[in-house]
Amino acid sequence: MKYLIFFYMFLVVTLSFSQKKELRTAKKLFSNAQYEEVEKVLLDNQNLFSESDSKLIGQFNFLLAQTYRNLKKFQKAFDRLSLVKNTPSLSKDYPVEAELLKADCVNSAIVDSNEKKYKDSVDKLYIAYLLDVDKNIDYLYFAASNSVNDNDYQRALDYYLVLKEKKYTGIITEYFITEVASGNEVPVSSKEEMEILSKTPEYENPRSNDTPSRFPEIVKNIALIYNQLGDKEKAIAAIKDARNENPEDVDLIITEANYYIESGDKEKFKNLITQAIEKDPSNGNLYYNLGVVSAELGEKDNAIEFYNKAIELEPTFESSYLNLVALILDEDVRIREEMDKLGNSRADNIKYDKLTLEREDIFKECVPILKSLIEINKNNEEAIRTLMNIYGVLGDNDGFKKMRELLN
């Protein structure tokens, strides 16, 4: 019996000695930045450490986490680091390593994003978030955005739903102060720094400013993604939810309006765009959209009015000009059909001449609109060709030749 106890103690001492020896070897390699060799030594002896006490196995996993971080194997680094999060002997070391892993993940994610490697970027940002789901929640927001860039809408939706549940806003208070000598306002890193500088004669006018909330964007994106995924019911429910959160947001009104135009409900689209215009009356694109729908609903006069307003507000938006001309020229179709029905009587001839003058008036109405568009873009072939044909009908040979030369 004594022999067995002695033998057992001998095994424990031998095992402990071996574990510590391999750990010392790995640490020495780590200090020399021989990270691949560290990984090999530790993994080759993984079974040796499986029976270790919590302190020793904690050191093993912690060193492996550090090694994986330096090898940029961030998921493996996170997995190993998670194993030692609650190890008492590493209570001081864990936060430092977690911060280093977060920084490396984020910096690498930025490089990936710039190189359009969006999936890799998302994976790393998500690890940064998981290291501290409260403190690092900003990285979940950026991971969701990059998931959209990667066209991984389901993953983006999952992340946005978490952000919505947590009522994440991303609001940051920024601090500024003005340099007396230059008169320039400069940013400062904290409220404390701003207050210190404001007490010196070199600075004045300290102020703070909150950045806009990201929450409306998040709920809007949830609605858009549901729509993208084909779940129309959840899309419209999310849109209404988003509007309840921020009823003054013009983008949300337009988002809901776009849903209705896609589903063929033009009247609801028109009503919502009208609401958007009330909140943003200088937005020419809204008037253009209202013109399109009014034309489709047969409200020609209203459509012409909206297109003209769109041109007034956004004079370089070419589609407004072309749609306005097309709408005016629709009347020419009606007149020609009426002319084709006329006979050769004196009354018919008089009516024919009258309709001819009406046609000319329609074409003349289009001339200045097309000329304005061509001044904006001399390469707009559709505008040039349309104006050339109009000049041909009006018998304006000079205008016709000019447009033909421009077209050529």
The two tokens of residue 180 are 């007396």
The two tokens of residue 317 are 């938006």
| pLDDT the model gives residue 336 | 87
| pLDDT the model gives residue 4 | 41
The two tokens of residue 328 are 């005016």
Quick count: other Cβ atoms within 10 Å of Cβ 376? 13
In order, the DSSP letters of 133-190 are TTTTTHHHHHHHHHHHHTT-HHHHHHHHHHHHHTT-----EEEEEEETTT--EEEES-
Sign of CA dihedral 100, 102, 106, 109: positive
Q: Scan for tokens 């207050």, then name that residue.
A: 195
**339 in a domain, yes or no?**
yes
Q: Which letter does DSSP use for residue 89 in this model?
A: G
Number of structural domains the chain divides into: 2
| Domain extent for 405 | 335-408
| pLDDT the model gives residue 356 | 87
Who contacts 190 (Cβ-Cβ below 8 Å, separation ≥6)?
Answer: 175
**264 in a domain, yes or no?**
no
**368 in a domain, yes or no?**
yes
Which helix or strand (DSSP H or E) is residue 408 part of?
Answer: none
Query: 234-261: string of b/e by CB count within 10 Å (b at 16+)?
Result: bbbebbeebbebbeebbebbbbbbbbbb
Who contacts 66 (Cβ-Cβ below 8 Å, separation ≥6)?
Answer: 30, 77, 97
The gap between the terminal CA atoms of the chain, to the nearest Å, is 108
C-alpha–C-alpha distance, residues 262 and 242, integer Å: 19
**397 in a domain, yes or no?**
yes
> Which domain-ending residue is among 165, 184, 210?
210
Beta bridge partners of 210: 173
In tens digits, the chain (408 residues) has pLDDT values of 444 443 334 334 444 546 677 778 878 988 888 999 988 888 887 777 666 666 888 888 999 999 999 999 999 999 999 999 999 989 999 999 999 999 999 999 999 999 999 999 999 999 999 999 999 999 999 999 999 999 999 999 999 999 999 989 999 999 999 999 999 999 998 999 999 999 999 999 999 999 988 887 888 889 889 988 888 888 888 888 878 877 878 877 887 887 787 777 888 888 988 988 998 899 999 999 889 888 888 889 999 999 999 999 999 999 999 999 999 998 888 888 888 888 888 888 888 889 889 889 999 999 999 999 999 999 999 999 999 999 998 899 999 999 999 888
**405 in a domain, yes or no?**
yes
| pLDDT the model gives residue 106 | 97
Residues counted in the chain:
408
Beta bridge partners of 174: 209
Q: Of 392, 332, 388, nearest to 357 (Cα)?
A: 332
| pLDDT the model gives residue 57 | 87
> Which domain-ending residue is among 160, 185, 210?
210
Contact predicate 276/250, CB 8 Å:
yes
Beta bridge partners of 173: 210
The two tokens of residue 233 are 């019911």
| pLDDT the model gives residue 11 | 36
**377 in a domain, yes or no?**
yes
| pLDDT the model gives residue 408 | 83
* Burial of 181 per CB tally in 10 Å (0-12, 13-18, 19+): exposed
The two tokens of residue 369 are 């609109």
**364 in a domain, yes or no?**
yes
Q: Which letter does DSSP use for residue 379 in this model?
A: T
Q: How far is CA 27 from the centre of its chain?
A: 44
Beta bridge partners of 208: 175
C-alpha–C-alpha distance, residues 243 and 237, integer Å: 10
Q: Which letter does DSSP use for residue 215 in this model?
A: H
Quick count: other Cβ atoms within 10 Å of Cβ 191? 12
- Name the E strands within 116-172: none
C-alpha–C-alpha distance, residues 204 and 380, integer Å: 53
Contact predicate 324/300, CB 8 Å:
no
**389 in a domain, yes or no?**
yes
> Which domain-ending residue is among 163, 193, 210?
210
